[in-house]
Homo-oligomer: A and B are copies of this chain.
Amino acid sequence: MTTPDGGVPDRMRVAVLDEPHRIGIEYRPTPIPAEGEVLVRVTAVGVCGSDVHYYEHGRIGDFVVTAPLVLGHEAGGRIVAVGPGVPRARVGERVAVEPGRSCGECSECTAGRYNLCPRMRFFGTPPVDGALCEYVCVLSRLAFAVPESISDDAAGLLEPLSVGIWAARKAAVTGGSSVFIAGAGPIGLVTTQVARAFGATEVVVSDVSEERLRVAQSFGATSVSGPGEGDGAFDAFIDCSGAPSAIEAGVRRVRPAGSAVLVGMGPDDLPLPLGVIQQREVRLTGTFRYANTWPTAIALTASGRVDLDAMVTAHFALAATEDALLATRKPGQIKVIVQPHVT
Contacts and interface: CB of A to CB of B under 8 A. Distances in A.
Interface centre among A61, A174, A296 (most CB of B within 10 A): A174
A269 B277 CA distance: 10
B175 A107 contact: no
A295 B292 CA distance: 24
Most chain B beta-carbon contacts within 10 A, residue among A114, A194, A268, A286: A286
A38 to B, nearest CB: 13
B288 A281 contact: yes
Interface stretch (A7-15, A16-24, A195-203): A195-203
Given A105-B104, A175-B296, A292-B111, A278 B287 contact: yes
A300 interface: yes
Nearest to A170: B281
A128 interface: no
Contact of A113 (B112, B197, B274): B112
B104 A175 contact: no
Interface in A257-289: 257, 262, 265-275, 277-288
B288 A279 contact: yes
A109 B104 CA distance: 8
Contacts of A262: 274, 277-278
Interface residues of A, number: 66
A273 to B, nearest CB: 6
17 contacts: A110-B112, A110-B141, A113-B281, A170-B281, A175-B194, A199-B305, A201-B299, A201-B300, A201-B305, A268-B275, A270-B271, A274-B286, A277-B286, A279-B288, A280-B286, A281-B287, A282-B286
Q: Which of A199, A277, A287, A292 counts the most chain B CB atoms within 10 A?
A: A199
A303 interface: yes
A291 interface: yes
Contact of A110 (B114, B198, B277, B303): B114
Nearest to A194: B175
Interface in A107-141: 107-116, 139, 141
Contacts of A279: 286, 288
Closest 3 pairs between A and B when the two form their complex, measured CB to CB: A112-B112, A278-B286, A176-B296
Contacts of A116: 256-257, 280-281
A269 B268 contact: no
Given A268-B275, A281-B286, A284-B285, 18 more contacts: A105-B139, A111-B112, A115-B281, A176-B295, A176-B296, A176-B300, A199-B300, A199-B305, A201-B303, A265-B275, A266-B278, A271-B271, A274-B286, A278-B286, A280-B288, A282-B285, A283-B283, A283-B285
Contacts of A202: 299
A36 to B, nearest CB: 8
A191 to B, nearest CB: 12
Contacts of A169: 174
B201 A175 contact: no
B269 A113 contact: no
A42 interface: no
A325 B228 CA distance: 43
Nearest to A275: B268
